[in-house]
């Protein structure tokens, strides 16, 4: 059970869009439509922003969207705002009631 | 409002046993479908799911640490307890607990985490 692969950092200007990738294997990302994404501002509790690949919990901005192709899931943040600056983690169900997370991506809003 | 809060020692010595507590409110572990999980993050590493316990006492552990982990619940005090034996410096990190619903495959609400350092 290896960690999912995410870019260490991404950046974008206010108002623009960024996409964060999350690459796994056929045993996790590619095998199930159960990828979730979490936003984490250091010192605070992580927050779920996407679940089941594309679904947004109530109260999460429509600027956050998710997708998946084969073994890679993606999180797109459109209309970047300063408050979006945070760490983002993907997570996938990996079968047998186990889960695997990504290494995290730091988003910088320029 | 759902809240979770982790607590435990900030410093443990190698080979000691770590005991962490997750105190929660806004939900009950007697409710069908409700569970609490633990996730940790060691410095510079990925988040790592550790363990889960559900309302019906069904438990799951990360296979690589299964022999060292025990998760349990105290219904009367709205708490979930995680013990990890034989602590090593590589176990240093921030430990989070999270609400997890059985029918869903994501971690819903999280605590802010508690930092544990393993050092002699």
Whole-number pLDDT of residue B6: 98
- Paired sense of beta strands A72-77 and B47-54, if any: unpaired
Q: What is the mean pLDDT of chain A?
A: 95
All residues of chain B having their beta carbon less than 8 Å from the beta carbon of residue A48 are 106-109
Whole-number pLDDT of residue A13: 96
Distances A90 to A100, B67, B83, B88 between C-alpha atoms, Å:
9, 26, 26, 27
Q: Which of B96, B106, B108 sits opposite A91 (nearest CB)?
A: B106
**Chain A residues with CB-CB distance to B under 8 A?**
1, 3-4, 32, 34, 36, 38, 43-48, 51-52, 89, 91, 93, 96-104
pLDDT by residue (tens digit) across B52-74?
999 999 999 999 999 999 999 99
B59-63: which pairs have CB atoms within 8 A and are 24 or more residues apart? B60/A96, B60/A97, B60/A98, B62/A1, B62/A98, B63/A1, B63/A98
Tokens of A65: 């969207």
Whole-number pLDDT of residue B46: 85
Rounded-to-integer distance, Cα B71 and Cα B52, Å: 7
Number of A–B residue contacts, CB under 8 Å: 68
pLDDT by residue (tens digit) across B59-114?
999 999 999 999 999 999 999 999 999 999 999 999 999 999 988 999 999 999 99
Whole-number pLDDT of residue B84: 98
Residue at token pair 């990738």:
A21
């Amino acid at each position: 059970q290896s960690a999912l692969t995410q870019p260490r950092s991404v950046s974008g200007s206010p108002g623009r869009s960024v996409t964060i990738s999350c690459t796994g294997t056929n045993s996790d990302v590619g095998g199930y439509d159960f990828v979730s994404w979490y936003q984490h501002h250091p010192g605070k509790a992580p927050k779920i922003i996407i679940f089941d690949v594309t679904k947004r919990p109530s109260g999460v901005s429509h600027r956050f969207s998710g997708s998946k192709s084969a073994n890679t899931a993606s999180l797109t943040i459109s209309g970047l705002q300063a408050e979006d600056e945070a760490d983002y983690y993907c997570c996938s169900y990996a079968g047998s009631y186990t889960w695997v997370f990504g290494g995290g991506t730091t988003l910088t809003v320029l | 409002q759902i809240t979770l809060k982790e607590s435990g020692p900030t410093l443990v010595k190698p080979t000691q046993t770590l005991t962490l507590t997750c105190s929660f409110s806004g939900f009950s572990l007697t409710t069908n479908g409700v569970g609490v999980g633990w996730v940790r993050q060691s410095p510079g590493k990925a988040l790592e799911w550790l363990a889960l316990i559900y309302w019906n006492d069904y438990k799951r552990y990360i296979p690589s640490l299964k022999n060292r982990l025990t998760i349990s619940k105290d219904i009367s005090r709205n708490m979930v307890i995680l013990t990890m034996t034989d602590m090593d410096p590589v176990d240093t990190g921030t430990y989070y607990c999270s609400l997890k619903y059985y029918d869903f495959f994501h971690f819903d609400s999280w605590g802010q985490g508690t930092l544990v350092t393993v050092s002699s």
